[in-house]
Amino acid sequence: QVQLVESGGGLVQAGASLRLSCAASGRSFSPSAMGWFRQAPGKEREFVAAIAWISELTWFADSAKGRFTITRDYAKNTLYLQMTSLKPEDTAVYYCAAKAGNQRAHPASNSETYAYWGQGTQVTVSS
Q: What whole-number percentage of the chain has pLDDT above 90?
A: 91
Q: Which residues of 13-28 are buried (b: 16+ CB within 10 A; e: fewer)?
A: eeeeebebbbbbeeee
Residues contacting residue 123 through CB under 8 Å, at least 6 positions apart: 9, 10, 12, 18, 20, 38, 83, 86, 90, 91, 92, 93, 94
Q: What is the pLDDT of residue 46?
A: 98
Q: How confident is the model at residue 103 (pLDDT cuts 50, 70, 90)?
A: confident
Summarize pLDDT for 20-69 with one digit per residue, the tens. Answer: 999 999 888 899 999 999 999 999 999 999 999 999 999 999 999 999 99
**pLDDT of the residue at 1:** 85
Q: What is the pLDDT of residue 28?
A: 82
CA distance 41 to 39: 7
Gap between the Cα atoms of 127 and 125, Å rounded: 7
